[in-house]
Structures are given as C-alpha cells and as structure tokens.
Amino acid sequence: MIRDLFISLRSGAELGDVLPQILLVIICVLLALTFHECAHGFAAYKLGDPTARDLGRLTLDPRKHLDPIGTLCMLLFGFGWAKPVPVRSRYFKKPRRDMAITAFAGPAANILLSFVALLFQHIFAVLYANAVSNNAAAVSLDGPSFGMNVLFIATMFFGYLHSLNLSLAVFNLIPIPPLDGSRILFLFLPDKYYFALMRYERIIMFVMLALLWTGIVTLPISAVCNWISNGMSFIIELIPGL
C-alpha cells in the first residue's frame, strides 16, 4: 500500500497528491486492525471468556490493539496483523468450537466492514460523477469545487477501507500459526498434529514475512481478494442507482 505510494513519488508523482493518500491509508489500517481485534474479544466475551474485557481490549481505541510489526506490514504490503486478544479456552463450554468462532470473528468483522465500505465507495463515486457531469464547464475553468474534492476524497477513503479490510481478512484466514486460520484449523485437526504445528509458530511467521517481502504470497492473496471484491460489487450493483 504505502510502499506503492512511495514508489509513485519516485516515479514523479506530486507530494501534494500522494500525501493525502498516505494519511487515508494510515487511518484505514488503524480502523481495520482495531475492528479485527475488538471482534475477537467481543466474540470470546459472548462465549463466556471475560479476559478481553478485563484487559480493556473490548474497545475501538487503536492503541490497545496495534502490533508494531503487523501494523508496518499492513502499511507496506496491505497484509498484516494486530496484537492478539488473549483468549482463555477454559471459559468456553465447547473449547474447540468456541475457539474457532472467536478466531473467525476477526476476519468476519473485516469482511463486513469491507462490504459496507465498498457500498459507500459506490455511492460517493456516483455522487462525484454526477457532480462532475453537472459542473463540467466550471471544473474546466476553475478546477473542482470544495464539495467535489470532498466527494473524491470520500470515494478514495472508502476504496482503501474496502481493500485493506478485505486483504486483512483473507490473509488472516490462511491456516498457519499464528494467524486466525490456524485456530479454525484446530476445529478439524487432531490435537497431536495441531500442537506439533504450533511448535513452529515463530519459524513459520518469519518465513511468512520473507514471502510477503518478496511478493510471492501477495499474488495469490490479491487474486482471492479481487474475486471476493468482484462478488461484492456484483451484489451492490443490483441496487438501483449504483
């Protein structure tokens, strides 16, 4: 994400055009990571585990959730993670099932937020296109009005919010530790295989970081995100006027 924006600067883009986009990406990253972890904590709380509540993690305050490396990866690549919400499975009535539900809650929250963001992106894009069409002469002479600039920025903001939430959800559903997908995998794997896999959590994470840096993982994840995004757009475009 931000890496691409910096590359565009080196290619000759104006700082005044790129800086607002960088700020929008930062805001969207904070929102995506915060909703993700808060959803984990909320699901665990509803299933009987008060740990997240007791530690003050049932909040939308980004400072409670951000992991430095995971946040940096989100900013640079569009894929990352936040500081995991502590979960105590001993509070769950059905530990395997409830752990999987808690793990899925984070990506599910991001997918929902991604869909809502895409809906608003479509709405603001239509409003902006109509404003340009109705004020074509004025725009050509004096440049876009303040209202049109607001519509354009809002369209860009919700576009970033859509893509970042979707990429965060898809990335975290990969079934390797310490990502959420590994906790969902726990529902299906025998204990001995699951805990054998978890022993290599740190090594697997370093390998994943290396693959992110090289871009090898980026292509398949981006393909899945594009497929889901196209499906969301198809649904939204069924709404009259969009």
Residues 88-139 have pLDDT tens digits of 989 999 988 999 999 999 999 999 999 999 999 999 999 988 887 777 655 5
Task: Tell me what the mean pLDDT of segment 206-212 comes to.
Answer: 78
pLDDT band at 233 (very low <50, low <70, confident <90, very high): very high
201 is known as an active-site residue: no
Whether the Cβ atoms of residue 163 and residue 222 lie closer than 8 Å to each other: no
d(Cα 158, Cα 231) in Å, to the nearest integer?
Answer: 17
Number of Cβ atoms within 10 Å of the Cβ of 228: 17
The average pLDDT across 136-150 equals: 64
Tokens of 127: 């409003």
Average pLDDT over residues 184-197: 76
Across the chain, mean pLDDT equals: 86
Q: Which of 4-18, 72-86, 103-117, 171-185 comes out lowest in average pLDDT?
A: 4-18
Active-site residue identified among 14, 37, 201, 237? 37
Q: 226: pLDDT confidence band, cut at 50, 70 and 90?
A: very high
pLDDT at 162: 97
The model's pTM:
0.88
Give the Å distances, CA to CA, from 169 to 26, 73, 78, 82.
17, 14, 11, 12
Which pLDDT does position 2 carry in this prediction? 66
